[in-house]
């Protein structure tokens, strides 16, 4: 299982088409949204409690809310996501995916 920490508004990229975005975090869980393509077609949007999971059957992805982190004044600011995906499917924090794309594009 891959574990990635994200804040509200942060995303994880699966392959080159599917994006998982953390919409909102509270003390009990997080609202997660899967979308696809350049038009951002929403595939699923679900509130997931700590230690529960959601996923996309078509890509064989499962995402579990492992932990909620609170920093500062008691407001939940980070969610730790446990991700299970097929070995042949790349999984990157979205900012890393963007950096890889920039480096691989010719000038």
**pLDDT single digits (tens) 13-29:** 999 899 999 999 998 99
SS3 call for 101 = helix
Tell me the two tokens of residue 47. 């509130």
Q: How far apart are CA 85 and CA 25, in angstroms?
A: 23
Nearest Cα neighbor of 94 from 3, 2, 12, 5 is 12
Q: Report residue 103's pLDDT band, with 50, 70 and 90 as the boundaries.
A: confident
Q: Are 59 and 43 in contact (CB under 8 A)?
A: no
Tell me the two tokens of residue 46. 């679900």
How much is the pTM? Answer: 0.89
Q: Say yes or no to pLDDT of 35 above 90.
A: yes
* Residues spanned by the domain of 91: 2-104
**pLDDT single digits (tens) 49-102:** 999 999 998 889 999 999 998 877 767 689 999 999 999 999 999 999 999 888
Number of domains making up the chain: 1
Q: What is the pLDDT of residue 104?
A: 79
Supply the Cα-derived Rg of the chain in whole angstroms: 14
């Amino acid at each position: 299982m891959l574990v990635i920490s994200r804040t509200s508004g942060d995303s994880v990229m699966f392959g080159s088409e599917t994006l998982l975005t953390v919409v909102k975090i509270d003390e009990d869980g997080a609202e997660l949204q899967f979308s696809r393509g350049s038009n951002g077609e929403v595939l699923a949007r679900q509130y997931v409690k700590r230690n529960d999971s959601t996923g996309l059957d078509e890509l064989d992805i499962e995402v579990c809310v492992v932990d909620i982190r609170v920093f500062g004044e008691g407001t939940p600011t980070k969610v730790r996501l446990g991700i299970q995906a097929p070995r042949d499917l790349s999984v990157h924090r979205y900012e890393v995916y963007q950096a890889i794309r920039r480096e691989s594009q010719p000038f």
